[in-house]
Chain A
Amino acid sequence: DQQVKQNSPSLSVQEGRISILNCDYTNSMFDYFLWYKKYPAEGPTFLISISSIKDKNEDGRFTVFLNKSAKHLSLHIVPSQPGDSAVYFCAASAGDMRFGAGTRLTVKP
């Protein structure tokens, strides 16, 4: 039962443009959401998070948006840089953590 879904396995964006990564969830009990970034041969690293009481959280080039009514989460990266190329995991918590399958972002120079 995939409670957290990332329906796009990959995304390719030109350097300088906006990257938008999407995530949908089914469990309305989730109260905290996170994005992790993963480079090859490394473990995921925390990127940004948002509580369910908020609808937006911004940290530099990274902004996470939460739409609770749609059970939808998105990560915006502006401007995208080649070093942002990685796999991005969406995660949601209602006690324990559930991860999506990941989206591979490629930022082309």
Chain B
Amino acid sequence: DAGVIQSPRHEVTEMGQEVTLRCKPISGHNSLFWYRQTMMRGLELLIYFNNNVPIDDSGMPEDRFSAKMPNASFSTLKIQPSEPRDSAVYFCASSLQDQYEQYFGPGTRLTVT
């Protein structure tokens, strides 16, 4: 298995632009998580899905952030409009619903100038 796949690996954009991050979970996993890593706050859970349904989005910082999971093999995290403070590494992770261990993708490093 290829593991969790994220794209792009790096994204540099200007303030005000729309940014879309993509994730393909491990086949067969039915839980998907989006995290943001910053120096100040470490790894923060933004949102997670079970069986493609959003369960908890309380970690999504603002209405500028939205996430979708149209099917079991694809999820997106969108930021519109982006701001410099959104600069961080965004990780996607997946797991089996009844297991604690999560498998992380390599992350997307987002820089908003």
Contact = CB atoms under 8 A, between A and B. Distances in A.
Interface of A: 6, 32, 34, 36, 41-46, 49, 89, 93, 96-102
Interface in B37-53: 40-45, 48
The dominant DSSP class at the A interface is: strand
Nearest to B42: A101
Contacts of A49: 100-101
B106 A42 contact: yes
A43 B93 contact: yes
A89 B42 contact: yes
B89 to A, nearest CB: 9
B102 interface: yes
A102 B45 CA distance: 14
Contacts of A45: 104
B106 A102 contact: no
17 contacts: A42-B107, A43-B91, A43-B93, A43-B106, A44-B91, A45-B104, A49-B101, A89-B42, A89-B43, A96-B45, A96-B48, A96-B56, A97-B33, A97-B102, A101-B40, A101-B43, A102-B43
B29 to A, nearest CB: 14
A102 B104 CA distance: 16
A14 B97 CA distance: 40
Contacts of A32: 100
B21 to A, nearest CB: 13
Contacts of A101: 40-43
Contacts of B56: 96
Counting chain B CB atoms within 10 Å of each CB, the highest count among A36, A89, A96, A102 belongs to A96
A99 B43 contact: yes
A101 to B, nearest CB: 3
A100 B41 CA distance: 8
A43 B45 contact: no
Contacts of A36: 104
